[in-house]
Structure 1
Amino acid sequence: MALPVRNTVAKLSSSTPSNLSLVASITSILQTLNPQDSDTSNLNPEPLKQFSSNLNPNLVIQVIKNQNNPYHALFFFNWASRPVPNPNNYFHTHLCYVVITDVLLSQSLISTAYTLLQKSHKLSDFMFGRFIKAFGDRGDVRGAIDWFHKAKSFESGRCLFSYNAVLGVLVRANRVNLAKAFYDQIVKEELVKPDDFTYTTMIRGFCKMDMIENARKVFDEMSCEPNLVTYNTLIDGFCKKGDLESSRGILNRMMQSKTYLPDVVTYSTLIDGYCKKGEIHEAMNCMEEMVKQGCQPNVLTYNSLIEGLCLTANVDEAKRMMTRMRLNGLKDDVTTHTSILKGFCIAGRSSEAIKHLG
């Protein structure tokens, strides 16, 4: 769910020459002041006043992200929250709070981040989700769950971001049964409505643990439209299980919905699945369908086909496929040539394998 925010942050923080100069100047001053903890009462922010008229969310985000020391970022953030003078009536946006929170959490400054948000009245389900993810990134599942319960208490259970964050942590930690318990809690309490992120996370978890029927059940029960990642996750799950018929069924459902079209990941996943089952003809047909749909194969697509052809000793066709890949502007790699060498050996053409190495 946080993806749109991350994309916006990236867009906002794109650097311009004038901003780069300002960022460098501000960073130099911060390094001179050199705050080393959150208590900066002994530091005089007077040198920063010259930048008051330049303050805007874009600049503030760039400065924060440019700091190696999180306390430098925090000092600047605190100063910019109440600059004197303030000719442009600058104030921090939601994205500014997201960026400083992420910086502090990345350095394990949990209480500092929490205090900042609490004093600023910016604690929210979304922000709690950042704390939960931060604990998950550190491998601290218990900590992530503790912060989820704080979020649930704070939001009286209406905390979809936090639910999604804890589901993501548990799935990454392979605690899928526990994730299912949280998911069932969402469904039972009906305080929040699961979204596509909720369902996709559970589908990914079940596929990861080879519980494909559970994944299909979640997919069939979705109360919202699946997104492209949802479709691709389930298709990949069925392909890994060797159930290409069900994978194709999900692809057909995607085509019928017309909300999302298959992309290079969708087709490459199917092609790899067919190749691993030795169904090269189906894989080739899938690639032709892919091209007709205006979706261009990438190196992974070609490598799957090349490996499939080589495993069936059809090394000459594999070499033609490599040529086709080159003509389409793609560069063959180690995986490509490893498959070709394997193909020569399987076909009993070891001398040609040696020649290919040269």
Structure 2
Amino acid sequence: MVGKFVKAHGDLGHLKWAVKLFHQVRERELGDCLFSYNALLGVLVKANMVSHAWGYFGHIVIKSRVVNPDVSTYTTMIKGLCKIGMIDDAEKLFDEMSCVKNLMTYNVIIDGFCKKGFVEKAQRVVNEMVGNEACLPDIVSYTTLMDGYCKKGEFEKAMRCFHEMVSRKNCEPNVLTYNVLINGLCSNGDVDEAKRMMSKMRLSGVRDNIATHTSLLKGYCIAGRSNEAIKHFKEMVNLGMSLDGKPYAVIINEYSKLGRPDEGVVLLKEMRGKGIKPSLASFNALLRSFIKLREFDKAILLLKQMPRMGCYPNFLSYSEVIIGFLEVKGRMQEVEMLVSEMIQNGHSLDTTLYSSLINAYCISGDISKAVWFFKEMIGERIVIRNDCFEVFVKEMCSRGLVLEVENLFNQMRENCLMSDVETYQSVLNECLCGNGDL
């Protein structure tokens, strides 16, 4: 009963109360608190506090031996270790279990191995299960293993696994199983084979879903069959499928690549009308496309519309537009407004943006602002790109600001971590020599 209260506190996010309640029970029950202990481990693992769970496991189970761990204890801890990528520790714990493993234990370690790309180890675990009549692999075991093979591009092994699964009793593939295979084929651009797999799926009485069709959309795009992807998407809409943001994101990204961002914006508005939140990646793809097409006004309009459409610009959003505008004469005022807005929204300039701004100000003849941004870079301990440094030095020298540029270089060398000082020094010396100062 107490274990349920510990879990309830954890589910509500009251982790301190969950821990406090566990310790109270531990003192009162004098070690007979296995269920409470397992509940606490589950709460900590779910909250991504795996190191804390590992600490409790080490102290209470290994060191103090307050409780004798059961299969649930081990499975929860193995799941947590897999969750944070500590697969070696998870494997060691799995091998050293002092109790009989159950199906969930096996499936947790199979999933952990596959997520780290150790599919052969996962296969060995499945083979071990096949030889264990008391705990045969189930649909989750096989589907996880197939997904691991597909992600490594080993589709033949995935299909071998599929055939082994269907040959077993009470292990019929479900929509997740078929989707794993269809997605694997589509990721390789083999969309025709994926469609045949979908037909097989339907003949088996398994109904396809949005994830199935989203994989097909990706497959068409990867295969360079954009028109078929767009056609398939429109068919999905016309059939009244309850779409989420993923199929929209695939087609918006494809419109962006095709240089048809206006059609992508139409889809964004359609999504808004249906209450579907667009992804940040979709906006950034469209911004990049507008900039590439030199449709700068459309890019800045979309950037300003983003918050109203439920998505705030990130660093990449601003960076794409700012760098695009820097290539156009007479737009520096808009650039300054964007930079100011970007900083106000909590984003910092990086090497590329600082360097590009300094370069643009030098080209436009506004050396005072170029110097201001150069000093800002030094203050942030960021080193200007070498090509932009050369433009800056030449512009400074052409204006007779030789001592000033030498001073700025020395400040940069003293305050910033420069891996190739000699290259920058060489650029400076060459410009000074050409200016007659050496």
Structure 1 length-normalised TM = 0.71
Aligned to 1:349: 328
Determine helix, strand or coil for the equivalent of 1:174: coil
Does 2:220 align with 1:234? no
Aligned to 2:428: none
* Cα distance between partner residues in 1 of 2:335 and 2:187: 38
Which residue of 72, 77, 98 maps to 1:100?
Answer: 77
* Cα distance between partner residues in 2 of 1:340 and 1:123: 54
1:270 Cα shift?
Answer: 1.2
Counterpart residue identity of residue 337, structure 1? Y
Structure 1 unmatched runs, 5+: 1-7, 27-44, 83-91
Aligned to 2:258: 277
- Spell out the pairing of 1:235-274 with structure 2 (5 A cutoff): 235-251=217-233, 254-255=236-237, 261-274=242-255
CA deviation string 1:16-66 (max 9, x = no partner): 44213245x59xxxxxxxxxxxxxxxxxx9997177499375335236742
Aligned to 2:122: 144
TM-aligned CA distance change 1:159 to 1:68, over 3 Å: closer
* Cα distance between partner residues in 1 of 2:290 and 2:9: 41
Does 2:203 align with 1:221? no
Aligned to 2:14: 15
TM-aligned CA distance change 1:265 to 1:108, over 3 Å: same
Counterpart residue identity of residue 98, structure 1? T
More deviation, 159-168/46-55: 46-55
More deviation, 150-159/321-330: 150-159
1:319 Cα shift?
Answer: 0.9
* Cα distance between partner residues in 2 of 1:189 and 1:59: 37
1:293 Cα shift?
Answer: 1.9
Q: State which structure, 1 or 2, has the greater radius of gyration over its C-alpha atoms.
A: 2
Aligned to 2:421: none
Which residue of 285, 290, 302 maps to 2:271?
Answer: 290
1:294 Cα shift?
Answer: 2.0
Alpha carbon RMSD of aligned pairs, Å? 4.0
Counterpart residue identity of residue 311, structure 1? K
Counterpart residue identity of residue 75, structure 2? V
1:81 Cα shift?
Answer: 5.5
Aligned to 2:179: 200
* Cα distance between partner residues in 1 of 2:147 and 2:68: 33
C-alpha contact (below 8 Å) 2:113/2:119 kept by paired residues: yes
Percent identical: 16
* Cα distance between partner residues in 2 of 1:196 and 1:174: 20
1:217 Cα shift?
Answer: 2.3
1:203 Cα shift?
Answer: 2.0
Aligned to 1:164: 143
Structure 2 length-normalised TM = 0.60
Aligned to 1:186: 165
Aligned to 1:5: none
1:316 Cα shift?
Answer: 0.6
**How many residue pairs were aligned?**
317
Aligned to 1:85: none
Determine helix, strand or coil for the equivalent of 1:154: coil
TM-aligned CA distance change 1:53 to 1:307, over 3 Å: closer
1:131 Cα shift?
Answer: 2.3
CA deviation string 1:227-268 (max 9, x = no partner): 44333333223233343443345445655776x621122212
Determine helix, strand or coil for the equivalent of 1:229: helix
Determine helix, strand or coil for the equivalent of 2:331: helix
TM-aligned CA distance change 1:97 to 1:235, over 3 Å: farther
* Cα distance between partner residues in 2 of 1:291 and 1:265: 14
Which residue of 63, 67, 79 maps to 2:53?
Answer: 67
- Spell out the pairing of 1:297-312 with structure 2 (5 A cutoff): 297-312=278-293
C-alpha contact (below 8 Å) 1:319/1:340 kept by paired residues: yes
TM-aligned CA distance change 1:9 to 1:140, over 3 Å: farther
* Cα distance between partner residues in 1 of 2:209 and 2:95: 33
1:325 Cα shift?
Answer: 0.9
C-alpha contact (below 8 Å) 2:187/2:218 kept by paired residues: no
Which residue of 148, 154, 157 maps to 1:175?
Answer: 154
TM-aligned CA distance change 1:78 to 1:53, over 3 Å: closer
* Cα distance between partner residues in 2 of 1:341 and 1:227: 40
C-alpha contact (below 8 Å) 1:9/1:95 kept by paired residues: no
CA deviation string 1:161-185 (max 9, x = no partner): 2211211221232322322332243
* Cα distance between partner residues in 2 of 1:226 and 1:356: 48
Counterpart residue identity of residue 71, structure 1? G
TM-aligned CA distance change 1:301 to 1:264, over 3 Å: same
1:12 Cα shift?
Answer: 4.4
* Cα distance between partner residues in 2 of 1:150 and 1:13: 39
